[in-house]
Structure 1
Amino acid sequence: MFISNAYAQAAPAADPGLMGSLSTFLPLILMFVVMYFLMIRPQQKRAKEQKAMMDALSRGDEVITAGGILGKVSKVSDTYVTLEVSANTDIVVQKNSVSTLLPKGTLKSL
């Protein structure tokens, strides 16, 4: 009775323009750029180095497999590598399971 009803008025819609929408998405775009340089690019570089190492495997190389087996490469095929792990003991592993190429002379007991 003594208080009159108050009605909210709609404010006119503001047009943010190009700068308004760009400043809205700028943090998201910046986050993707940082993610690319910190995570995706180094991973691609490591994968390229690993592939080059697997392609360069040759007889006599000393390697470590992903399972931790140390051996000397005695035969290389397209998808498999035969490793000599001790005298007269050979194992066949997949080529992509070779994780590290060791310097020559690391395994002296073979």
Structure 2
Amino acid sequence: MANFWPLIIVAILFIGVSYFFGIRPLRQREKQHDQMVLELEIGDTVITAGGMYGKVDSILEDSVIIEVESGAKIRMTKGGIVKREGDSIDLNRQY
């Protein structure tokens, strides 16, 4: 039975390291994105996951309508907004 303790300790350490280098940063990024989406205002310039730039025309409960350069209005989920223009991106962040 005593031979199993090192194995258990290594397994616990592996789970801890996996959490701090994998799951925890992912949750922090999700919280930052959720906060950014909550702070969206009409008129903000945003960048979508598809790389399109547009201005927020209206904000609905689960979606956003953005107006792109051509004047077309596109409805998309709030999760499709990657960032607001002017918000900084940390290029040194490890993903």
> Scaled by the length of structure 2, what TM-score is found?
0.81
Q: Deviations over 1:14-42 (max 9, x none)?
A: x63xxx43223111111111001000100
Q: How many residues were matched structurally? A: 87
Structure with greater Cα Rg? 1
Equivalent-residue separation in structure 2 for 1:24 and 1:99 (angstroms): 42
> Scaled by the length of structure 1, what TM-score is found?
0.71
Equivalent-residue separation in structure 1 for 2:67 and 2:15 (angstroms): 46
Q: Deviations over 1:82-107 (max 9, x none)?
A: 11102532211111111111129xxx
Q: Deviations over 1:59-95 (max 9, x none)?
A: 0111011111110111111111111102532211111
Equivalent-residue separation in structure 2 for 1:87 and 1:33 (angstroms): 50
Q: Which residue of structure 2 lines up, in the alignment, with residue 39 of structure 1? A: 22
1:29 aligns with 2:12: yes
| Structure 2 residue corresponding to 1:61, chosen from 9, 29, 44 | 44
CA RMSD of aligned residues (A): 1.7
Identity of aligned residues (%): 32
- Structure 1 residue ranges without an equivalent (≥5): 1-14, 105-110
| Structure 2 residue corresponding to 1:78, chosen from 45, 61, 70 | 61
